[in-house]
Structure 1
Amino acid sequence: MKPMSPAAGRWGWIVGVAAGVILIAWSLVGLEFTGIQETAKVMSKAMLNGILHPDWNYVWLPEGEDLIRNLLLTLSISYLGNIVSMIICIPIAFWAAANMSRSRWVSGSGKIVLSIIRTVPEVIMAIIFIKAVGPGAYAGVLALGVHSVGMLGKLYAEAIENMDMGPTEALTACGANRWQTLSFAVIPQVLPDFLSYALFRFEINVRSATLLGIIGAGGIGTPLIFAINGFSWPRVGIILIGIIVTVSIIDYISGALRKRIV
């Protein structure tokens, strides 16, 4: 193959940058910026005042729901959704892994199923489950659990495909059946990756559970949207602080655990 000349490479960069600029300009054409400055000025002052003067009384309320209870509910929704997805996606991951089947049609169909699940946004899933089972934490768990299957299943399938096939071939040559091969050659290799990916997905689910609560799927998002609609910016401020602290702690703990596992 004839190597590309420096001039051709330079022109390729120029064309690429020009195309990017044109796309940005085309994207901005349909946006309307009228009234943004005045609105942003008013909103930013009120919101900044709420952040600087958060409602610390909302952290713990003996008589009802408060920041701590809603954050714990959000973590529960995220954790249970993660458990649901871990259980469901394992058989689908083995179905989608190319080295676990003799036919590409079999593994290909599994990959298609995972792709279809990933294409449906978790917000849409939450709306569907809210209509099916009613608003609340149960709908949030189902939405996060089903949506996470698509991504976790893809990562699990890639971990299976990238594993060393030597132990599997050795056990097969010794007369081991399929279940013995899975138990002693496959699972020990992929289990650390499975746990690492599950922890990473849990981090994402904690953030997603906040968003799902805004549309009625339980958790801290529900009081957050009520506070925003009521222009209670001190309440918004303390909720945002609680979310930031919680997500930061979860990220740190999850990162430390993943470093020990992998």
Structure 2
Amino acid sequence: MNTRKLKKILPVLIVLFIVMYSALGIDYSEVSKITFTNVQAVFAGLFKPDWSYVYDGSGEDLVGLLFLTICIALLGTIIATILALPLAFISAHTLWKSNRIVSRVGKFFCNILRAFPELVYAIIFVKMVGPGPFAGVLAIGVHQIGMLGKLYTEEIEAMDEGPVESMESVGANFWQTLFYARIPQLMPTFISFSLNHFEIAVRSAATLGLVGAGGIGAPMIFAIQSRAWDKVGIILLGIIVTVFVIDTFTGYLRKKLQ
């Protein structure tokens, strides 16, 4: 076998080895506990949702908790969008050609913030500020700063520099090119990124309640633990409908921005 063929086959062999090693490393002993009766009970409950939980005016019903989940995601995304903007302009190397250390520090900070998932941040903030929606907002906000900061930075570095160079040729300074050439060109894309991450934040906020960070996650885990599958079914249905509506609405807004 020549060197060229080996280079083509080697990545495939490595992937196959990793897959087989992962499959063999899993403990399959719990599979024996799965019975037809248990599976039937789960699906029977899921497909017979508890409609009485949809709304009862208490604020702890499905409608109230889904609204709270959306608010957590929205506020977290707004905070992240506001704070990611200056971080992105610090991280873009095209704005710091004479001092690349600044952009490297900004990118390193973005990488740190997005290295941990929202659930890890939620656990930390629950310990810091106590359980509740505020911890969820902080968890989503901090994580999204890193995610949006990276996307914004890449967009700044890839933007058309023509308008900026035209303004600089007639004597415009850094701030004038920033506010009159860069930001107007970048803002539609930035808003589109933020809308997309709002959708993601809604899905994340639906699980943050598992660790006490507010939203629909806590009732869902309690229902699962108590095997109230009819309640789990209505919660999952509510999450699916909510995500679909938000996805449709934000998709419409993104098309308008194009």
TM-score range, shorter chain: over 0.9
Q: Which amino acid aligns with 2:13?
A: A
User: Contact 2:59/2:65 (CA < 8 Å) preserved in 1?
Assistant: no
Task: Tell whether 2:66 aligns with 1:71.
Answer: yes
Q: Distance in 2 between matches of 1:168 and 1:255?
A: 30
- The answer on 1:18 being equivalent to 2:52 is no
Which segment is superposed worse, 12-21 or 238-247? 12-21
In structure 2, list runs of 5 or more residues that go unmatched.
none
Change (3 A) 1:207 1:63: closer
Amino acid at match of 1:109: V
Runs of 4+ in structure 1 off by over 6 angstroms are none
Aligned mate of 2:216, from 220, 223, 230: 220
From the superposition, tell whether residues 131 and 62 of structure 1 become closer, same or farther in structure 2 (CA, over 3 Å). same
Once the two structures are superposed, residues 96-116 of structure 1 have per-residue CA deviations (whole angstroms, 9 ceiling, x without a partner) of 001111222111111111011
1:142-164: CA deviations, max 9, x gaps?
A: 00001000110000011111111
Alignment of 1:85-124 (within 5 A): 85-102=80-97, 103-124=99-120
The 2-side partners of 1:137 and 1:80 are apart by 10
TM-score w.r.t. the length of structure 1 is: 0.93
Q: Is the 8 A contact 2:134 2:213 kept in 1?
A: yes
1:39 corresponds in structure 2 to 34
Which residues of 2 match residues 128-207 of structure 1 at below 5 A? 128-207=124-203
After superposition, the Cα gap between the structure-2 partners of 1:64 and 1:110, relative to the gap in structure 1 and judged at 3 Å, is closer
The 1:241/1:185 distance shift into structure 2, 3 A limit, reads same
Q: Distance in 2 between matches of 1:42 and 1:139?
A: 39
Distance change >3 Å, CA 8–CA 254, structure 1 → 2: farther
Instruction: After superposition, give the CA deviation of every residue in 1:132-178 in whole Å (9 maximum; x if it has no partner).
Output: 11111000000000100011000001111111112112212222232
Alignment deviations for residues 56-114 of structure 1 (CA, whole Å, 9 cap, x no partner): 01001134511000110000000000000001110000000011112221111111110
Structure 2 letter corresponding to 1:62? G
Contact 2:76–2:138 (CA under 8 A) maintained in structure 1: yes
Which amino acid in 1 is paired with 2:54?
V
Aligned match of 2:55 in 57, 60, 68?
Answer: 60
What SS is found at the alignment partner of 2:125? helix
Q: CA RMSD in A?
A: 1.7
Aligned residues: 257
Displacement of 1:200 in angstroms is 0.7
